[in-house]
Structure 1
Amino acid sequence: MKPNPVPNPHHHPTGHQRPVEAPDVDLDLSPSHLCDLELLTNGAFTPLTGFLNRADYESVLADMRLENGALWPMPVMLDIPETTATRLDAGQTLGLRDREGVLLATLTVGDIWQPDLRAEADAVFGTTDSNHPGVARLLERTHSYYVGGRVHLVQPPLHYDFPHLRHTPAELKALFEKRGWERVIAFQTRNPMHRVHQELTFRAAREIEANLLIHPVVGLTQPNDVNHYTRVRCYEHILKRYPEQTTALSLLNLAMRMGGPREALWHALIRANHGCTHFIVGRDHAGPRNPATGEGYYGPYDAQELITEHRDEIGIEMVPFREMKYLETRAQYVPVDEIGPDDQVREISGTEVRRRLSEGLDIPEWFSYPEVVAELRRTHPPRAQQGFTVFFTGLSGSGKSTLANALQVKLMELGGRQITLLDGDIVRKNLSSELGFSKEHRNLNILRIGFVASEITKNGGIALCAPIAPYTATRREVREMIEPHGGFIEVHVATPLEVCEQRDRKGLYKKARQGIIKEFTGISDPYEEPENPEMQIDTTEMHPEKAVQQILLKLEHLGYLAVDTNP
């Protein structure tokens, strides 16, 4: 008697999985690839039928058009490691799997090539500055080969979160038709919505006599953005503030590139594919700011101008975002062009909102609804209640481990939280014993440390990390793992090489000078100094106890250590 087949938890409930021949080669997709695959196969990326081949890719970079002339501003690419590329030939089948190994789709291989990623960054983002999140992701985390070809769906990715709010373009169009919505204005967001957003969207819909679709991105956004679980709960609260039957909420599983004007045009095309007739575009749409300077990468109205330039062929009408501010004298939000010189304006920036949340301070009701603020407070407690990571980086012998051990003791004296020390040697022994010391393995070791530290931080603990971590890109990736969950304090132990070499307790520098140890940081391999660490400490003359005291003062200043105000 044959046993019953085990049900596949990923099997899509609306259809049957068709039989598929075993692919020639398999690939586990990254989170961004999974987002792209979903939108490629459900029609959101129409007219694309797969990941771009080389001719379409080069045409998109040069002219924002596919080779056939169709407007398409953003390259949608599948990058693969060299080990995969060397096993593939045109005409073969590449299996596209999720992280659990479930086959979601197959790709019929067309082109395989090595792209010029810096040229792509310059074309798409207008910069090669790695402070731009899209550039950093492209230049630092993209494999060296692209593969293009038509994609054939086996089964859609399954989402366990908010399934009632996830719609394909066809499902949204059917919903609009069922409700009799002929004019639909879409609002794109990757942030929580506050009163000003409710007011501007309500006004925009009323002025053009349209229904409103709140269509937030819940795929990949910027590393420090509020997680989508919290945001969706906020959206569900704010949905009740609109008149009944006028507004809908649907989630878009898009991996944003933060590409400014090109991205805004892309967003408009995607909303047209979902059946929307109008699209709200604000100042500096999808434009990140340089964390080093605070300046934006694009002009405030560049996105609106690019969409206007292509208005006749995008199939959707742009509604420019009207900046609004709260007038205390009128107790309401008013467009800035209606504000007089004597009006009393009140405003709170996004940075100020984050500060108030982190310090447990009041957020006034004129700025946001109480139920939205309550949701944000649930996942963004005051810093003194958050977990955090102190990440020491520096040359071998700089004093990282000494400082980390001393800091651990001082924090244990204070009490109140669990503390974990992730020293380089400890991690090598317990987490990375199989790894060597090539650049690839050293990076993997640091990412493992980052993953463990992010879990500790997420659960309210303190992680103290003390690897060499010589590469800027890897340290940035670790920061992005941790910051969404709590604090990340990078401490550059900037002890000079000659001092580190004099200390050389293990004789490592001597062996590196003799060529016995290859790729040794500071001798035969570079150490990329942090550009903007939270702290920099030189232990040449400074006693560890004094250095640790400075770190404790910094943690107290940042709010991660509660200050006892009782005498």
Structure 2
Amino acid sequence: MANTPHGGQLLDLVARDAPRRAELASEAATLYSITLNERQLCDIELILNGGFSPLTGFLNQQDYTSVLDNLRLANGLLWPVPITLDVNAAQVQAGNIKQGTRIALRNPQDDNAIAIITIQDVYTPDKHREAAAVFGADDIAHPAVHYLHTETKEFYVGGSLDAIDLPTHFDYVEHRFTPSELRAHFKKLNWTRVVAFQTRNPMHRAHRELTVRAARLRHCNVLIHPVVGMTKPGDIDHYTRVRVYKAILPKYPQGMAALSLLPLAMRMGGPREALWHAIIRKNFGCTHFIVGRDHAGPGKNSAGQDFYGPYDAQHLVAKYKDELDIEVVPFQMVAYVPETDEYIPADEVPEGTKTLNISGTELRRRLKTGASIPDWFTYPEVQTILRQSHPARSQQGFAVFFTGFWNSGAAQIATALQMSLNQGGQRPTTLLLGETIRAELSSELGFSKKDRDVNIQRIAFVAAEIAKCGGAVVAAPIAPYDSARNEARKAVEKAGGGFFLVHVATPLEDCIKRDRSGTYARAQKGEIKGFTGIDDPYEVPSSAQLTVDASKAPVSQIVHEIILLLEKEGYIGER
């Protein structure tokens, strides 16, 4: 049992509680249960396996307050980030969660109980104070502050954990190590000095040069220790990133580097997060830890300025270096010098020397457009992986989402557009007409706002899954509410697809005039309730890419306008 940064022992709760595993599992079956969310699942895994030593559970109120005020637990041990279990008010008010009770904590992926918490206290956090203390500002532009105010529930539960089992992983199992396992792995490799490299992004040549330089300066081996839990919204998925890390490993000198995945839910907390990362890496057996420029920075605040200074994280970690028992290796950015074909620290570049760089924004642009990425920036193997996961727009899926009054002409336009896209043959195109979805997917739904929103959610889910696979979707519901349309956009874009909202703004009087079925007449007489435009509202879209009027333009002309929009944005046309 090796020392933690706090001078104690690595607290492997799974190993500690292994003799009681069957007993605890039987008890969990009789207890009230909480199903953990994604962040809580990441946190509990690292509590149970010792990655969060000295924690043995979720913070009680005394520890929580101390961490906010002093970066320490109530007993004085260094710990900069609150690890909390949030629950909703209904659970507390029902009396299911209260001091002294034992609650089973379940994995959302398989519903298995992974631990039992003995509740010490239930308390109401001051979220504004937490945001200001931990993240430096109560600014919703910070992803963790946004999560705190929009996702975190009303109460926190503090208490110690009894471990039943760790969450089961099915991906990259060969690269997943608990702290005890990784320490044993280092011992098997005869590694006595190990520098850890934290990352949530793909690695390129600059990262390889930076880590090799750190290893040479400190006479260490390199542990690539990327986060594969929650990171910043919009980050490249961990499957793509791990494939990149595996491709990078052979670029190191033989025996210099290894890869281990960290199931951490990042908070993007800058200085405090860097301190937290250093403690975690010591728990995993590392002797050195690289802290780079703007470590774990979330980007710009609401005023358009960086949340943290470029070297704030290095300064805070240096302040506590005597307690950490891990040597922090500060690094600046490295720059590529084409004249010598090498990367060197930015502060060592002679004045007047030409340097090259590609920003993250520029890299994403090149991936999106299919533009070339130079070999000096990244390795050909990495380029191949990134292009597989981020194809050019002409190969990405998309959804054209129509909205408008019933009988506005949206269904006819959507049908004609699907035919036109299928004629081009670039990708399969699926048609989701409102009446078809109502019959096939949403037959049990009515026309209340809640039911209408659920209907749009289902259409968005189908569209997102198709777009994820590179297909095209043409959807034509009425979709009267702006909030539901915005959620549909988010769903498709999160899946990596393009989303185009087309408002078919045919005036209501024209929709009524063209109605030969008498449906509008029945609605006007009150025979049909909740009819959009009659006794139910229609919210004019605030973010439509295209607005058309079927009473003024023929279907063929409108379809042509949509095709031109898709071509302009690169989704169809030259491949």
TM-score, scaled to structure 2: 0.81
- Greater Cα shift, 555-564 or 250-259: 555-564
Q: Does 1:18 align with 2:22?
A: yes
Shift of 1:357: 2.2
Distance of 1:351 and 1:464 partners within structure 2? 30
Which is worse superposed, 25-34 or 270-279? 25-34
The one-letter code matched in structure 2 to 1:192 is P
1:76 lines up with 2:83 in the alignment: yes
Distance in 2 between residues matched to 1:526 and 1:48, nearest whole Å: 52
Q: Determine helix, strand or coil for the equivalent of 2:280.
A: helix
Q: Specify the alignment match of 1:195 in structure 2.
A: 205
Q: 1:526 to 1:68 in 2, by over 3 A?
A: farther
Q: Distance in 1 between matches of 2:548 and 2:154?
A: 38
- Aligned partner (choices 357, 371, 392) of residue 347 of structure 1: 357
CA distance in 2, matches of 1:230, 1:112: 40
Deviation at 1:203, TM superposition (A): 0.3
**Is 2:98 the partner of 1:89?**
yes
Structure 1 residue 200 displacement after superposition: 0.6
Shift of 1:40: 1.1
**What residue number does 1:43 align with?**
50
Q: Identity of aligned pairs, percent?
A: 46
- Once the two structures are TM-superposed, the CA of residue 252 in structure 1 deviates from its matched residue by 0.3
Q: Which among 544, 552, 558 is matched to residue 569 of structure 2?
A: 558
Q: 3-state SS of the aligned residue for 2:119?
A: strand
Rounded Cα–Cα distance in structure 1 between residues aligned with 2:407 and 2:76: 59
What SS does structure 2 have at the residue aligned with 1:223?
A: coil
Q: Which residue of 1 aligns with 2:318?
A: 308
Structure 1 position 500, deviation (Å): 7.1
- 1:453-504 residue CA offsets vs partner (Å, 9 max, x unmatched): 32111211123455345449x946x6565445422325384979xx779979
Which of 92, 99, 121 is residue 111 of structure 1 equivalent to? 121
Deviation at 1:153, TM superposition (A): 1.2
Shift of 1:197: 0.4
Residue type matched to 1:140 in 2? Answer: T
Q: Which moved more, 1:365-374 or 1:438-447?
A: 438-447
Deviates more, 1:41-50 or 1:70-79: 70-79
The answer on whether the counterparts of 1:51 and 1:78 sit within 8 Å (CA) in structure 2 is: yes
Give the drift of 1:269.
1.6
Superposed, which structure 2 residues align to 1:397-476 within 5 Å? 407-422=417-432, 427=437, 430-432=440-442, 446-465=456-475, 467-468=479-480, 470-471=482-483, 475=486
Please name the residue that 1:139 is paired with.
149
* Matched-pair contact (CA < 8 Å) for 2:367–2:390: yes
**Residue equivalent to 1:67:** 74
Cα 1:363–1:272 change in 2 (3 A) is: same
Amino acid at match of 2:365: R
Q: State whether residues 406 and 511 of structure 2, in contact with CA within 8 Å, keep that contact through their aligned partners in structure 1.
A: no
Match 1:262 to one of 251, 256, 272: 272
- Give the Cα separation in 2 of the matches to 1:544 and 1:425: 22
Residue 245 of structure 1 aligns to a residue in which SS? coil
- TM-score of the aligned structures, taking structure 1 as reference length: 0.82
Q: Secondary structure at the match of 2:499?
A: strand
1:248 matched residue in structure 2: 258
Kept in 2: contact 1:82–1:145 (CA 8 A): yes
Superposed CA deviations along residues 384-424 of structure 1, whole A, max 9, x for unmatched, are 11212345679999997787566545434434323334566
Q: 1:201 to 1:134 in 2, by over 3 A?
A: same
Q: Is the 8 A contact 1:24 1:92 kept in 2?
A: no
- Which of 175, 180, 196 is the matching residue for 1:186? 196
Letter of the 1:558 partner, please give it: E
Asked whether the equivalents of residues 125 and 154 of structure 2 are also in contact (C-alpha less than 8 Å), the reply is yes
**Aligned to 2:473, what secondary structure does the other structure show?**
strand
1:377 counterpart residue number: 387
Larger gyration radius, structure 1 or structure 2 = 2
Alpha-carbon spacing, 1:336–1:126, altered in 2? closer, same or farther (3 Å): same
- How far, CA to CA, are the matches of 1:380 and 1:452 in structure 2? 21
Contact kept in structure 1, 2:49 and 2:178, CA below 8 Å? yes
2:230 maps to what in 1?
A: 220
Aligned residues: 542
* 1:347-367 alpha-carbon deviations (Å, 9 max, x no partner): 222222222222333222111
**Alpha carbons of 1:371 and 1:63: their partners in 2 closer, same or farther (altered >3 Å)?**
same
Query: Does 2:40 correspond to 1:33?
Result: yes
Aligned equivalents of 2:126 and 2:554: distance in 1? 46
CA contact (8 A) 1:398 1:493 kept: no
* Structure-2 separation of matches of 1:557 and 1:402: 23
Partners in 2 of 1:276 and 1:410 — Cα distance? 59
Q: CA deviation at 1:135?
A: 2.9
Quote the offset at 1:38 in angstroms. 0.7
1:47 match: secondary structure: coil
How far did residue 523 of structure 1 move?
Answer: 11
Tell me if structure 1 keeps the 8 A contact 2:119–2:157: yes
Question: What CA deviation, in whole Å up to 9, does each residue of 1:189-208 have, x standing for no partner?
Answer: 11111111000110011112
Unaligned residue ranges in structure 1 (runs of 5+)? 1-10
Alpha-carbon separation, structure 2, partners of 1:541 and 1:292: 43
Which of the residues 335, 356, 362 maps onto 2:345?
A: 335
Q: Which residue of 1 aligns with 2:9?
A: none
**Structure 2 spans left out of the alignment, 5+ residues:** 1-13
Closer, same or farther: CA 451–125 of 1 in aligned 2, 3 Å: farther
